[in-house]
Structure 1
Amino acid sequence: MTKPVTGVLFDVDGTLVDSVYLHAVAWWQALRQHDHDVPMARIHRAIGMGSDKILDELLGPGRDASADSEIRAAHSALYAPHWPALRPLPGARKLLDACADRGLKVVLATSASRPELDALLRCLDADASLTAVTSADDASQSKPAPDILEVALSRSGLSADEAVFVGDSVWDVHAAGKLAIPCLGLTSGGLCAAELLDHGAAGIYADPQDLLDHLDEALTTAFRMALA
C-alpha cells in the first residue's frame, strides 16, 4: 500500500533558483571556445542534465571526447562569476519553509557540482528547512539517471513511495519516473507545460510561488498518481 507523502525532493537550477539561462550562456561560450557552434535553444533544452551527460546530448556520443574535461572546466569558469547575481525564484524560500512547517522532509537533489551547490545554498538561505542536500558529486551518474534521487532518499530516510519530486526539466521527470516518484513540473526553467506533461509530470505550476499557493492540492495529486 502506498504511504502518504512525507517528503519533497527539489531540483534547484530553474526550480528554486533563476539560473537556467546563465548556464545556457556559459555552456554556449565554453563550446564556442572549442569550435562547437551549438544553437542556444538546444543547449537550453539540455540544461538539467549533469556535466557528465550534457556533452553527449549536445555533441553526440560517438565523437572525439578528448576535450570534454576542458569544455566542462570552461563552463564552470564562465558560470562562476554569475554566482553573486543568483536570485531565488518567486516563493522559493517560502515554499521550502512551508513544506518543513507541514512536517515534510525537504531534500535538495541537484545535478550541480558541489561548488555550484554551495553558491545555490547561499542564494536560497533556507538551510533551517532542509533535511538533506545532494549534488552530482554524490552519485556516479547525474540526471536523467536516478542516482542523485536515490542518494537523496537514502540520506533523508525516505522511500520512493512516500516522496514527490519537484523539477523544471524533462530530465527531472525522467529521473523521478525511473523510481516511480511523482514529479511536479515548474515552467520557471523555460519549458512549456505541455512538454513536461507529455514526459509524465504529475502536475504543472508556473514557479515555486504558484506551487506554494496550491501545495495541498499538488501533494494530493501526487499521492493519487502514486496510487494509480
Structure 2
Amino acid sequence: MQNFLFDVDGTLLDSEKMYMLAMQQALDETGRHFEYERLAQTFGTTGKIAFQQLGIPDDEIPGLIDIWQNYTKSTYDTMRIYPGIEAVLQQLHENPRLTTAIVTSKLAPEYQRDLVTNFPLDQFMDGHVTADEVQRGKPAPDSLQLALAKLKLMPNQTIYIGDTIYDLQAAHAAGLTFGLATWGGPKAQSLIRDSDEVLDQPHDLLNLIG
C-alpha cells in the first residue's frame, strides 16, 4: 500500500467514553435512558446517523447534538492517543513514497480541537476530510471518495484504517482495502472475518507498505 487513510475515534484516539458518556447524559436530559452498551453500537458514525439509529425524530436531532456537544466538555479528559500511534504515523509521513490522511466523522471544529490543538496528529497528515464536507456520513463512501479526489489517490493503492463496521462498509463501498484496528478492544468475529487486514498493534501498519 502507498496511501493510508485513517479514521480517528477508536482508531487513533481512544474517545469512545468521551462521546458515549456525553451522549448518555444528553439523552437523559431529554427523558430518554439508554444503556451504555446500546449507545456504543452507534460509535463510529456521525451524530445525526447515531441518533437516527436510536429512533430520535429528525426534528429533535440538531438540538440534541448541541446538548451532547456541551456535555463532552465534562468528559473530554477521558480521551487519549493510543500507545504507539504517534511514532508509527511519523514514520509513515516521513516516507516520501507514502500519502497519509484522515477521513473522520468529526465536524471541522472538532477536528481542529482534537487533531490540531489538543492531540496534534494533523502534523503527520497530507490532508483530511471531515463529516461536514460531504452529504452522507459513514457507512456511505462519500468522505473516502472525496479524500481520493482531493489527494489524487488510486483506490487499489489505498487502505482505510478503522475500527467499526461503518468504517469497513465505507471502505468497501469506495473500492478500498480495509484494515481493522483492534488495539482499542475486542471486535466481533464477523468484523474480523470481513476485514482485509487485521492489525493488532499500530506497528503492524508498517508491514503494509508496498
After TM superposition, is the score higher than 0.5?
yes
TM-superposed CA distance for 1:24, in Å, is 0.9
Change (3 A) 1:56 1:127: closer
Matches within 5 A, 1:84-103: 86-103=79-96
Give the 3-state SS of the residue equivalent to 2:65 in structure 1. helix
2:205 match: 215
CA distance in 1: counterparts of 2:78 and 2:53, whole angstroms = 28
Deviations along 1:108-164, whole A, 9 cap, x unmatched?
000011121112213332333210011111111111111111111122221222100
Aligned with residue 136 of structure 1, among 131, 137, 142: 131
Which blocks of at least 5 consecutive residues in structure 2 are unaligned? none
Q: Distance in 2 between matches of 1:33 and 1:57?
A: 19
Letter in 2 for 1:217: N
Match of 1:226 in 2: none
Q: CA deviation at 1:176?
A: 0.3
3-state SS of 1:46 partner: coil
Please name the residue that 1:179 is paired with. Answer: 174
Do structure 1's residue 6 and structure 2's residue 2 form an aligned pair? yes
Amino acid at match of 1:50: T
CA distance, structure 2, for counterparts of residue 126 and residue 72 of structure 1: 25
Q: Which moved more, 1:162-171 or 1:95-104?
A: 95-104
SS in 1 for 2:80: coil
Distance 1:57 1:191 in 2: 22
TM-superposition CA deviations, 1:199-226 (whole Å, max 9, x none): x2112223xxx131x2343456xxxxxx
Q: Does residue 162 of structure 2 align to residue 167 of structure 1?
A: yes
Tell me by how many angstroms 1:49 deviates: 0.7
For these two proteins, the number of residue pairs brought into alignment is: 208
Task: Indicate the SS of the match to 1:166.
Answer: strand
Please give the secondary structure, in 2, of the residue aligned with 1:185: strand
Give 1:17's match in structure 2, choosing from 13, 36, 39. Answer: 13
> Which residue number corresponds to residue 52 of structure 2?
56
What secondary structure is seen at the aligned counterpart in 2 of 1:66?
helix
Q: In the aligned structure 1, how far is the partner of 2:57 from the partner of 2:13?
A: 34
Alignment of 1:143-154 (within 5 A): 143-154=138-149
TM-score norm. by structure 1 comes to 0.83
Distance change (3 Å), C-alpha of 1:78 and 1:35: same
Mapped partners of 1:84, 1:116: distance in 2: 15
2:2/2:157 contact within 8 Å kept: yes
Alpha carbons 2:92, 2:206 under 8 Å: kept: no
Q: Does 2:115 match 1:124?
A: no
Q: What percent identity do the matched residue pairs reach?
A: 24
1:202 is matched with 196
- Structure 1 unaligned segments of length 5 or more: list them: 221-228
Aligned to 2:63: 70
Match of 1:67, SS? helix
For the structure 1 residues 90 and 195, does the alpha-carbon distance in structure 2 shift closer, same or farther, using more than 3 Å as the test? farther
1:223 matched to which residue of 2? none
Query: Could you tell me how far apart the structure 2 residues matched to 1:126 and 1:119 are?
Result: 11
Report how far residue 193 of structure 1 moved. 5.4
Separation of aligned partners in 2, 1:126 and 1:40: 28
